[in-house]
Amino acid sequence: MTAIEQSIFKAYDIRGKVGTELTPDVAEAVGKAFADWLPTEGAVAVGRDMRPDSSALAAAFAQGLRVQGRDVVDIGQVTSDMIYFAVGSGGLAGGAMVTASHNPGADNGIKLCREDAKPVGIESGLAEVRDAAIAGTFKAAERTGKSTEMDVTEAWIEHALSFVDASVWPAYSVAVDAGNGMAGAIVPRLEPKIPLAITPMYFELDGTFPNHIANPLVPENLVDLQAKIAETKADFGVAFDGDGDRAVVVDENGTPLPGTIVTAILAEYFLSKHPGATILYNANCGRVVPATIEKHGGVPRRTKVGHSFIKADMRQYDAVFAGEHSGHYYFKDNFYADSGLIGALVVIEVLAKSGLRLSELAARYQNGYVSIAETNFEVTDKDAVIEKLRHDFSDAAQNELDGLTVEYDDSWFIVRPSNTESVIRLNAEATSQQALDTLVARATAVIAAE
Protein backbone atom coordinates (compact mmCIF):
# COMPACT_ATOMS: atom_id res chain seq x y z
CA MET A 1 0.00 0.00 0.00
CA THR A 2 1.27 3.47 -0.89
CA ALA A 3 2.43 5.54 2.08
CA ILE A 4 0.70 8.93 2.06
CA GLU A 5 1.86 11.91 4.10
CA GLN A 6 -1.02 13.39 6.09
CA SER A 7 0.62 16.83 5.78
CA ILE A 8 -0.28 17.16 2.08
CA PHE A 9 -3.94 17.56 3.01
CA LYS A 10 -4.29 21.29 3.66
CA ALA A 11 -7.25 23.35 4.81
CA TYR A 12 -8.68 23.85 1.32
CA ASP A 13 -6.92 21.38 -0.98
CA ILE A 14 -4.02 18.97 -1.41
CA ARG A 15 -0.48 20.28 -1.94
CA GLY A 16 2.85 18.46 -1.98
CA LYS A 17 6.31 18.09 -3.45
CA VAL A 18 6.26 16.27 -6.76
CA GLY A 19 7.86 12.83 -6.81
CA THR A 20 8.06 12.46 -3.03
CA GLU A 21 4.90 13.65 -1.31
CA LEU A 22 2.66 13.67 -4.39
CA THR A 23 3.07 10.80 -6.85
CA PRO A 24 0.74 9.05 -9.31
CA ASP A 25 0.16 6.28 -6.72
CA VAL A 26 -0.90 8.89 -4.16
CA ALA A 27 -3.15 10.61 -6.71
CA GLU A 28 -4.81 7.31 -7.58
CA ALA A 29 -5.48 6.54 -3.92
CA VAL A 30 -7.00 9.99 -3.40
CA GLY A 31 -9.11 9.46 -6.54
CA LYS A 32 -10.45 6.20 -5.13
CA ALA A 33 -11.27 7.79 -1.78
CA PHE A 34 -12.94 10.77 -3.46
CA ALA A 35 -15.03 8.49 -5.67
CA ASP A 36 -16.29 6.66 -2.59
CA TRP A 37 -16.90 9.80 -0.55
CA LEU A 38 -18.85 11.86 -3.09
CA PRO A 39 -22.46 12.06 -1.85
CA THR A 40 -23.99 12.21 -5.35
CA GLU A 41 -24.06 9.52 -8.01
CA GLY A 42 -22.66 10.40 -11.39
CA ALA A 43 -19.57 11.33 -13.35
CA VAL A 44 -16.61 13.40 -12.15
CA ALA A 45 -14.76 16.09 -14.15
CA VAL A 46 -10.97 16.01 -14.10
CA GLY A 47 -8.84 18.94 -15.28
CA ARG A 48 -5.19 19.85 -14.99
CA ASP A 49 -2.78 22.74 -15.38
CA MET A 50 0.42 22.97 -17.42
CA ARG A 51 2.93 21.64 -14.87
CA PRO A 52 5.17 18.88 -16.27
CA ASP A 53 3.71 16.20 -14.01
CA SER A 54 0.07 17.35 -13.98
CA SER A 55 -0.92 15.08 -16.86
CA ALA A 56 0.37 11.95 -15.10
CA LEU A 57 -1.20 12.93 -11.78
CA ALA A 58 -4.55 13.70 -13.45
CA ALA A 59 -4.49 10.35 -15.28
CA ALA A 60 -3.75 8.52 -12.04
CA PHE A 61 -6.51 10.36 -10.19
CA ALA A 62 -8.94 9.53 -13.01
CA GLN A 63 -7.88 5.90 -12.83
CA GLY A 64 -8.74 5.88 -9.14
CA LEU A 65 -12.17 7.25 -9.93
CA ARG A 66 -12.77 4.67 -12.64
CA VAL A 67 -11.61 1.73 -10.49
CA GLN A 68 -14.26 2.74 -7.97
CA GLY A 69 -16.97 2.82 -10.64
CA ARG A 70 -17.09 6.53 -11.42
CA ASP A 71 -17.27 7.75 -15.00
CA VAL A 72 -14.74 10.47 -15.78
CA VAL A 73 -15.14 13.58 -17.93
CA ASP A 74 -11.63 14.63 -18.92
CA ILE A 75 -11.70 18.38 -19.67
CA GLY A 76 -7.95 18.60 -20.30
CA GLN A 77 -5.74 21.59 -19.58
CA VAL A 78 -7.93 24.27 -18.04
CA THR A 79 -8.04 27.05 -15.47
CA SER A 80 -9.35 26.11 -12.03
CA ASP A 81 -12.51 28.17 -12.48
CA MET A 82 -13.33 25.99 -15.50
CA ILE A 83 -13.54 22.87 -13.33
CA TYR A 84 -16.21 24.59 -11.23
CA PHE A 85 -18.05 25.58 -14.39
CA ALA A 86 -17.85 22.06 -15.84
CA VAL A 87 -19.26 20.53 -12.66
CA GLY A 88 -21.96 23.15 -12.11
CA SER A 89 -23.16 23.48 -15.70
CA GLY A 90 -22.88 19.77 -16.46
CA GLY A 91 -24.73 18.55 -13.37
CA LEU A 92 -21.75 16.36 -12.44
CA ALA A 93 -21.15 14.67 -9.09
CA GLY A 94 -17.85 16.42 -8.53
CA GLY A 95 -14.60 17.63 -9.97
CA ALA A 96 -10.86 17.56 -9.45
CA MET A 97 -8.27 20.05 -10.69
CA VAL A 98 -4.62 19.03 -10.63
CA THR A 99 -2.73 22.24 -9.89
CA ALA A 100 -0.60 23.93 -7.26
CA SER A 101 -1.98 27.32 -8.30
CA HIS A 102 0.73 29.95 -7.78
CA ASN A 103 3.21 27.66 -6.00
CA PRO A 104 6.66 27.04 -7.55
CA GLY A 105 7.14 24.34 -10.18
CA ALA A 106 8.43 21.72 -7.72
CA ASP A 107 4.97 21.58 -6.14
CA ASN A 108 1.66 20.24 -7.33
CA GLY A 109 -1.75 19.63 -5.83
CA ILE A 110 -5.39 18.71 -6.26
CA LYS A 111 -8.43 20.94 -5.74
CA LEU A 112 -11.71 19.10 -5.18
CA CYS A 113 -15.35 20.07 -5.42
CA ARG A 114 -18.63 18.18 -5.17
CA GLU A 115 -21.98 18.65 -6.93
CA ASP A 116 -22.95 22.23 -7.86
CA ALA A 117 -19.23 23.13 -7.52
CA LYS A 118 -19.47 23.06 -3.71
CA PRO A 119 -16.00 23.14 -2.16
CA VAL A 120 -14.39 20.16 -0.46
CA GLY A 121 -12.10 21.41 2.32
CA ILE A 122 -10.79 19.80 5.46
CA GLU A 123 -14.03 20.66 7.30
CA SER A 124 -16.29 19.70 4.40
CA GLY A 125 -15.15 16.24 3.36
CA LEU A 126 -11.41 16.42 2.69
CA ALA A 127 -10.60 14.94 6.11
CA GLU A 128 -12.72 11.89 5.30
CA VAL A 129 -11.08 11.57 1.87
CA ARG A 130 -7.67 11.88 3.54
CA ASP A 131 -8.37 9.19 6.12
CA ALA A 132 -9.68 6.71 3.55
CA ALA A 133 -6.77 7.34 1.17
CA ILE A 134 -4.18 6.90 3.92
CA ALA A 135 -5.85 3.76 5.27
CA GLY A 136 -6.41 2.34 1.79
CA THR A 137 -9.98 1.43 2.69
CA PHE A 138 -12.13 1.61 -0.42
CA LYS A 139 -15.58 0.29 -1.27
CA ALA A 140 -16.05 -2.73 -3.49
CA ALA A 141 -17.01 -1.45 -6.93
CA GLU A 142 -19.53 -3.19 -9.18
CA ARG A 143 -18.13 -1.75 -12.40
CA THR A 144 -15.19 0.10 -13.90
CA GLY A 145 -16.04 3.63 -14.94
CA LYS A 146 -15.67 4.97 -18.46
CA SER A 147 -13.75 8.06 -19.56
CA THR A 148 -14.80 10.66 -22.13
CA GLU A 149 -13.10 13.87 -23.23
CA MET A 150 -14.84 17.24 -23.37
CA ASP A 151 -13.67 20.73 -24.37
CA VAL A 152 -15.58 23.26 -22.27
CA THR A 153 -13.54 26.31 -23.30
CA GLU A 154 -16.04 27.93 -25.67
CA ALA A 155 -18.95 27.35 -23.30
CA TRP A 156 -16.87 28.74 -20.43
CA ILE A 157 -15.93 31.88 -22.34
CA GLU A 158 -19.56 32.51 -23.30
CA HIS A 159 -20.54 32.04 -19.66
CA ALA A 160 -17.88 34.49 -18.46
CA LEU A 161 -18.94 37.06 -21.08
CA SER A 162 -22.56 36.78 -19.93
CA PHE A 163 -21.58 38.90 -16.90
CA VAL A 164 -20.78 41.93 -19.08
CA ASP A 165 -21.72 43.71 -22.29
CA ALA A 166 -18.40 43.85 -24.11
CA SER A 167 -20.02 45.32 -27.23
CA VAL A 168 -20.03 48.77 -25.62
CA TRP A 169 -16.43 48.70 -24.37
CA PRO A 170 -13.85 51.08 -25.82
CA ALA A 171 -10.97 49.45 -27.68
CA TYR A 172 -8.71 49.52 -24.62
CA SER A 173 -5.06 48.65 -24.99
CA VAL A 174 -4.31 45.96 -22.39
CA ALA A 175 -1.14 44.11 -21.41
CA VAL A 176 -1.92 40.63 -20.08
CA ASP A 177 0.68 38.59 -18.18
CA ALA A 178 -0.31 34.93 -17.96
CA GLY A 179 2.91 34.00 -16.16
CA ASN A 180 3.25 30.89 -18.37
CA GLY A 181 0.11 29.65 -16.64
CA MET A 182 -3.24 28.41 -17.89
CA ALA A 183 -4.63 31.86 -18.70
CA GLY A 184 -2.24 31.76 -21.64
CA ALA A 185 -4.43 29.09 -23.23
CA ILE A 186 -7.76 30.78 -22.52
CA VAL A 187 -7.21 34.48 -23.25
CA PRO A 188 -6.41 33.85 -26.96
CA ARG A 189 -9.77 32.06 -27.30
CA LEU A 190 -11.46 35.04 -25.59
CA GLU A 191 -9.73 37.81 -27.53
CA PRO A 192 -11.74 37.56 -30.80
CA LYS A 193 -14.96 38.10 -28.83
CA ILE A 194 -13.97 41.37 -27.13
CA PRO A 195 -12.81 44.75 -28.50
CA LEU A 196 -9.58 44.87 -26.48
CA ALA A 197 -6.16 45.18 -28.09
CA ILE A 198 -4.21 42.67 -26.01
CA THR A 199 -0.44 42.61 -25.70
CA PRO A 200 0.32 39.03 -24.57
CA MET A 201 3.07 38.28 -22.07
CA TYR A 202 4.28 34.79 -21.23
CA PHE A 203 1.32 33.00 -22.81
CA GLU A 204 3.43 29.89 -23.53
CA LEU A 205 2.33 27.12 -21.17
CA ASP A 206 5.33 26.19 -19.04
CA GLY A 207 4.94 24.82 -15.54
CA THR A 208 8.60 25.44 -14.75
CA PHE A 209 7.81 29.20 -14.78
CA PRO A 210 10.90 30.38 -16.69
CA ASN A 211 10.05 34.09 -16.41
CA HIS A 212 8.58 34.52 -12.94
CA ILE A 213 6.40 32.62 -10.51
CA ALA A 214 2.76 33.07 -11.50
CA ASN A 215 1.75 34.77 -8.27
CA PRO A 216 0.61 38.34 -8.98
CA LEU A 217 0.32 39.21 -5.29
CA VAL A 218 4.13 39.32 -5.02
CA PRO A 219 5.32 42.76 -6.24
CA GLU A 220 8.41 41.49 -8.10
CA ASN A 221 6.19 39.27 -10.25
CA LEU A 222 4.48 42.40 -11.63
CA VAL A 223 7.66 44.20 -12.68
CA ASP A 224 7.57 42.94 -16.29
CA LEU A 225 3.88 43.81 -16.65
CA GLN A 226 4.44 47.29 -15.26
CA ALA A 227 7.29 47.82 -17.74
CA LYS A 228 5.10 46.61 -20.62
CA ILE A 229 2.28 48.98 -19.61
CA ALA A 230 4.74 51.87 -19.69
CA GLU A 231 6.33 50.72 -22.96
CA THR A 232 3.07 50.27 -24.84
CA LYS A 233 1.20 53.10 -23.07
CA ALA A 234 -1.49 50.55 -22.27
CA ASP A 235 -4.72 51.62 -20.62
CA PHE A 236 -4.19 48.96 -17.94
CA GLY A 237 -2.82 45.48 -17.38
CA VAL A 238 -4.00 42.17 -15.99
CA ALA A 239 -1.86 39.48 -14.36
CA PHE A 240 -3.18 35.97 -13.71
CA ASP A 241 -1.92 33.36 -11.31
CA GLY A 242 -0.81 29.90 -12.45
CA ASP A 243 -4.21 28.23 -12.52
CA GLY A 244 -6.02 31.34 -13.70
CA ASP A 245 -8.59 31.64 -10.93
CA ARG A 246 -7.11 34.90 -9.64
CA ALA A 247 -6.43 38.11 -11.52
CA VAL A 248 -4.74 41.34 -10.44
CA VAL A 249 -5.53 44.49 -12.41
CA VAL A 250 -2.83 47.14 -12.77
CA ASP A 251 -3.64 50.73 -13.69
CA GLU A 252 -2.12 52.83 -16.47
CA ASN A 253 0.57 54.07 -14.08
CA GLY A 254 1.67 50.56 -13.15
CA THR A 255 -0.06 50.55 -9.77
CA PRO A 256 -1.81 47.28 -8.87
CA LEU A 257 -5.31 47.58 -7.42
CA PRO A 258 -5.53 45.84 -4.04
CA GLY A 259 -8.18 43.18 -3.62
CA THR A 260 -9.97 45.44 -1.15
CA ILE A 261 -10.44 48.15 -3.81
CA VAL A 262 -11.57 45.69 -6.47
CA THR A 263 -14.00 44.10 -4.01
CA ALA A 264 -15.53 47.52 -3.33
CA ILE A 265 -15.78 48.28 -7.07
CA LEU A 266 -17.44 44.96 -7.83
CA ALA A 267 -19.74 45.21 -4.80
CA GLU A 268 -21.14 48.51 -6.05
CA TYR A 269 -21.60 47.04 -9.53
CA PHE A 270 -23.55 44.02 -8.32
CA LEU A 271 -25.67 46.13 -5.99
CA SER A 272 -26.68 48.25 -8.99
CA LYS A 273 -28.03 45.05 -10.54
CA HIS A 274 -29.35 43.47 -7.33
CA PRO A 275 -30.55 46.27 -5.01
CA GLY A 276 -30.45 45.39 -1.33
CA ALA A 277 -28.45 42.21 -1.89
CA THR A 278 -26.05 40.63 0.59
CA ILE A 279 -22.35 40.97 -0.26
CA LEU A 280 -19.62 39.04 1.56
CA TYR A 281 -16.08 40.22 2.18
CA ASN A 282 -13.34 38.35 3.97
CA ALA A 283 -11.87 39.28 7.31
CA ASN A 284 -8.79 41.11 6.03
CA CYS A 285 -10.58 43.35 3.53
CA GLY A 286 -10.34 47.07 4.30
CA ARG A 287 -13.10 49.21 5.77
CA VAL A 288 -14.01 50.72 2.40
CA VAL A 289 -15.72 47.44 1.48
CA PRO A 290 -18.49 47.39 4.13
CA ALA A 291 -18.79 51.18 3.82
CA THR A 292 -19.36 50.88 0.06
CA ILE A 293 -21.89 48.08 0.49
CA GLU A 294 -23.86 50.05 3.07
CA LYS A 295 -23.67 53.27 1.04
CA HIS A 296 -25.27 51.54 -1.92
CA GLY A 297 -28.02 49.84 0.06
CA GLY A 298 -26.55 46.37 0.38
CA VAL A 299 -26.08 44.10 3.37
CA PRO A 300 -22.38 43.60 4.21
CA ARG A 301 -21.34 40.38 5.91
CA ARG A 302 -17.80 39.61 7.02
CA THR A 303 -16.55 36.05 6.59
CA LYS A 304 -13.50 33.97 7.34
CA VAL A 305 -10.63 33.94 4.86
CA GLY A 306 -10.70 30.93 2.53
CA HIS A 307 -12.85 29.77 -0.36
CA SER A 308 -14.57 26.89 1.45
CA PHE A 309 -15.88 29.24 4.17
CA ILE A 310 -16.90 31.92 1.69
CA LYS A 311 -18.74 29.60 -0.68
CA ALA A 312 -20.67 28.05 2.21
CA ASP A 313 -21.58 31.48 3.59
CA MET A 314 -22.66 32.72 0.16
CA ARG A 315 -25.16 29.90 -0.06
CA GLN A 316 -26.33 30.39 3.52
CA TYR A 317 -26.95 34.13 3.09
CA ASP A 318 -27.85 34.08 -0.63
CA ALA A 319 -25.05 36.53 -1.41
CA VAL A 320 -24.71 37.69 -5.01
CA PHE A 321 -20.98 38.43 -4.73
CA ALA A 322 -18.04 37.96 -2.39
CA GLY A 323 -14.50 39.30 -2.49
CA GLU A 324 -11.21 38.52 -0.82
CA HIS A 325 -8.33 40.89 -0.21
CA SER A 326 -6.12 38.26 -1.89
CA GLY A 327 -7.85 38.80 -5.23
CA HIS A 328 -10.35 35.94 -5.30
CA TYR A 329 -13.84 37.03 -6.41
CA TYR A 330 -16.95 34.85 -6.13
CA PHE A 331 -20.21 35.11 -8.05
CA LYS A 332 -23.62 33.63 -7.28
CA ASP A 333 -24.30 33.20 -11.00
CA ASN A 334 -21.03 31.29 -11.33
CA PHE A 335 -22.20 28.50 -9.00
CA TYR A 336 -20.95 30.61 -6.08
CA ALA A 337 -17.40 29.93 -7.28
CA ASP A 338 -14.45 32.25 -7.80
CA SER A 339 -13.08 33.26 -11.18
CA GLY A 340 -10.15 35.45 -12.14
CA LEU A 341 -11.52 35.89 -15.65
CA ILE A 342 -15.01 36.98 -14.60
CA GLY A 343 -13.53 39.33 -12.00
CA ALA A 344 -11.29 40.99 -14.59
CA LEU A 345 -14.12 41.27 -17.13
CA VAL A 346 -16.45 42.97 -14.65
CA VAL A 347 -13.75 45.46 -13.65
CA ILE A 348 -13.39 46.34 -17.35
CA GLU A 349 -17.18 46.68 -17.60
CA VAL A 350 -17.27 49.12 -14.69
CA LEU A 351 -14.32 51.03 -16.13
CA ALA A 352 -15.98 51.30 -19.55
CA LYS A 353 -19.22 52.61 -18.05
CA SER A 354 -17.39 55.12 -15.85
CA GLY A 355 -15.51 56.86 -18.66
CA LEU A 356 -12.55 57.20 -16.27
CA ARG A 357 -9.01 55.94 -16.35
CA LEU A 358 -8.43 52.98 -14.05
CA SER A 359 -6.40 55.04 -11.58
CA GLU A 360 -9.26 57.54 -11.38
CA LEU A 361 -11.80 54.79 -10.82
CA ALA A 362 -9.69 53.26 -8.04
CA ALA A 363 -9.22 56.67 -6.41
CA ARG A 364 -12.96 56.83 -5.76
CA TYR A 365 -12.55 53.94 -3.32
CA GLN A 366 -9.31 54.88 -1.55
CA ASN A 367 -11.37 56.45 1.29
CA GLY A 368 -8.34 58.03 2.97
CA TYR A 369 -6.91 54.76 4.27
CA VAL A 370 -3.35 53.51 3.97
CA SER A 371 -2.42 49.90 4.58
CA ILE A 372 0.44 47.41 4.67
CA ALA A 373 0.88 44.37 2.49
CA GLU A 374 0.09 41.14 4.32
CA THR A 375 3.14 40.34 6.45
CA ASN A 376 4.09 36.89 7.72
CA PHE A 377 5.86 36.23 11.01
CA GLU A 378 7.37 32.89 11.99
CA VAL A 379 6.48 32.11 15.59
CA THR A 380 6.87 29.14 17.91
CA ASP A 381 3.40 29.28 19.49
CA LYS A 382 0.72 30.92 17.35
CA ASP A 383 -1.96 30.74 20.05
CA ALA A 384 0.31 32.30 22.66
CA VAL A 385 1.16 35.22 20.39
CA ILE A 386 -2.49 35.91 19.61
CA GLU A 387 -3.37 35.70 23.32
CA LYS A 388 -0.60 38.23 24.12
CA LEU A 389 -1.95 40.57 21.42
CA ARG A 390 -5.44 40.15 22.83
CA HIS A 391 -4.16 41.18 26.26
CA ASP A 392 -1.92 44.05 25.17
CA PHE A 393 -4.62 45.59 22.95
CA SER A 394 -7.44 45.24 25.47
CA ASP A 395 -8.17 48.96 25.11
CA ALA A 396 -9.49 48.35 21.59
CA ALA A 397 -12.59 46.68 20.20
CA GLN A 398 -11.82 43.05 19.36
CA ASN A 399 -13.32 40.36 17.16
CA GLU A 400 -12.39 36.69 16.83
CA LEU A 401 -14.23 35.68 13.67
CA ASP A 402 -10.91 34.74 12.05
CA GLY A 403 -7.84 35.00 14.26
CA LEU A 404 -7.93 38.33 16.12
CA THR A 405 -9.13 41.68 14.80
CA VAL A 406 -8.24 44.79 16.82
CA GLU A 407 -10.05 48.04 15.99
CA TYR A 408 -9.55 51.68 16.93
CA ASP A 409 -11.40 54.63 15.45
CA ASP A 410 -8.51 55.57 13.15
CA SER A 411 -6.83 52.19 12.60
CA TRP A 412 -7.20 48.44 12.83
CA PHE A 413 -5.30 45.20 12.30
CA ILE A 414 -5.97 41.51 11.99
CA VAL A 415 -3.65 38.61 12.84
CA ARG A 416 -4.53 35.14 11.57
CA PRO A 417 -2.72 31.88 12.25
CA SER A 418 -1.64 29.85 9.22
CA ASN A 419 -3.44 26.54 8.84
CA THR A 420 -0.26 24.76 7.73
CA GLU A 421 2.79 26.62 9.07
CA SER A 422 4.13 28.13 12.29
CA VAL A 423 3.25 31.53 10.91
CA ILE A 424 0.85 34.31 11.76
CA ARG A 425 -0.25 36.82 9.12
CA LEU A 426 -0.69 40.52 9.84
CA ASN A 427 -2.82 43.00 7.90
CA ALA A 428 -3.28 46.58 9.06
CA GLU A 429 -5.00 49.76 7.89
CA ALA A 430 -5.25 53.34 9.20
CA THR A 431 -6.44 56.81 8.27
CA SER A 432 -2.87 58.18 8.19
CA GLN A 433 0.63 56.86 7.64
CA GLN A 434 1.60 57.92 11.16
CA ALA A 435 -1.31 56.03 12.73
CA LEU A 436 -0.49 52.98 10.58
CA ASP A 437 3.21 53.04 11.48
CA THR A 438 2.40 53.39 15.17
CA LEU A 439 -0.07 50.52 15.17
CA VAL A 440 2.14 48.18 13.13
CA ALA A 441 5.20 48.95 15.29
CA ARG A 442 3.22 48.21 18.42
CA ALA A 443 1.80 44.94 17.08
CA THR A 444 5.14 43.86 15.64
CA ALA A 445 6.86 44.46 18.98
CA VAL A 446 4.42 42.13 20.70
CA ILE A 447 4.87 39.45 18.03
CA ALA A 448 8.69 39.76 18.07
CA ALA A 449 8.77 39.38 21.86
CA GLU A 450 7.29 35.89 21.64
Three-class secondary structure assignment of 177-238:
ECCCCCHHHHHHHHHHHCCCEEEEECCCCCCCCCCCCCCCCCHHHHHHHHHHHHHHCCCEEE
- DSSP string of 339-374, one letter each residue: -HHHHHHHHHHHHHHHTS-HHHHHHTT-TT-EE---
Known catalytic residues are 101
* Model pLDDT, residue 433: 96
* Model pLDDT, residue 308: 86
Burial track 17-52 (b if 16+ CB lie within 10 A, e otherwise): ebeebbbbebbbbbbbbbbbbbeeeebbbbbbbbbe
CA–centroid distance for 55 within its chain: 22
* Model pLDDT, residue 105: 80
399 beta partners: 405
* Model pLDDT, residue 434: 97
Q: Which domains does the chain have, with CATH numbers?
A: 6-151 (3.40.120.10), 154-367 (3.40.120.10), 370-448 (3.30.310.50)
| Distance of alpha carbon 382 from alpha carbon 368, whole angstroms | 32
Question: Residue 285's closest CA among 258, 267, 251, 311?
Answer: 258
Secondary structure of residue 414 in the 3-state scheme? strand
CA–centroid distance for 396 within its chain: 31
C-alpha separations of 145 from 57, 148, 150 in Å: 18, 10, 16
411, burial (CB in 10 Å: exposed 0-12, middle 13-18, buried 19+): buried
* Model pLDDT, residue 1: 66
Tens of pLDDT along the chain (450 residues) come to 679 999 999 988 999 999 999 999 999 999 999 999 999 999 999 999 999 999 999 999 999 999 999 999 999 999 999 999 999 999 999 999 999 988 888 899 999 999 999 999 999 999 999 999 999 999 999 999 999 999 999 999 999 999 999 999 999 999 999 999 999 999 999 999 999 999 999 999 999 999 999 999 999 999 999 999 999 999 999 999 999 999 999 999 999 999 999 999 999 999 999 999 999 999 999 999 999 999 999 999 999 998 888 999 999 999 999 999 999 999 999 999 999 999 999 999 999 999 999 999 999 998 889 999 899 999 999 999 999 999 999 999 999 999 999 999 999 999 999 876 789 999 999 999 999 999 999 999 999 986
Contact call for residues 387 and 203 (beta carbons, < 8 A): no
| Distance of alpha carbon 90 from alpha carbon 352, whole angstroms | 32
pTM of the model: 0.95
Contact call for residues 74 and 20 (beta carbons, < 8 A): no
Question: Residue 53's closest CA among 3, 103, 99?
Answer: 99
| Distance of alpha carbon 388 from alpha carbon 323, whole angstroms | 30
Q: What end-to-end distance do the CA atoms of the chain give, in Å?
A: 43
| H helix intervals, 41-191 | 54-67, 80-90, 127-135, 153-161, 183-190
Sequence-ordered list of residues with C-beta below 8 angstroms from that of 193, at least 6 positions apart, any chain: 157, 161, 166
Secondary structure of residue 93 in the 3-state scheme? coil
